[in-house]
Amino acid sequence: MMINLIISKMEREHLDSLAELEKICFSQPWSYKSLEDELENKTAHFFTALVDGEVAGYIGMYIVCDNCFVTNIAVFPKFRRQGIAKALIKMALLTNDAMETDFISLEVRGSNEPAIALYKSFGFEQNGLRKNYYKNPTEDALIMTKFFKRNG
């Protein structure tokens, strides 16, 4: 089934939906205000997935000193398993390629096997562990990173 998917820069009109998505997906969600603050943050690169104009998900990352750290990736339950997370990761990788970063890194719950498999499919590898990083429930975070080989 084909969906009408557009990935665009996060805009103010997306924030209500994204704040709600945060509450659905995360035990310690970002607030509306936290998301709003990223609109003015020069190191922040946040993208929203829209399906037929409806917010389906998003990815947020910071790019500082040729390094990229993904802060958030989430998709509304009704839009999962439709390639939206893959499209968001592709957008992150394109952004990193354009900005010539050295790597892109993220944290994921050790029990989140679908996300881990997705990240591995894009060449991310586990290269660290944060003990008891997540709360509600307490769980370790796997640090997964994809390094880029740059000429020069």
Catalytic residue among 119, 133, 134, 139: 119
Residue 107 annotated to the active site = yes
Residue 58 annotated to the active site = no
Catalytic residue among 107, 133, 134, 139: 107
Distance set, CA 149 to CA 6, 61, 67 (Å): 29, 20, 13
- C-alpha 27/C-alpha 21 separation (Å) is 11
User: Where does residue 123 fall: left (phi above 0), alpha (psi -120 to 50 degrees), or beta otherwise?
Assistant: left
Residues annotated as catalytic (active site), given as ranges: 107, 119
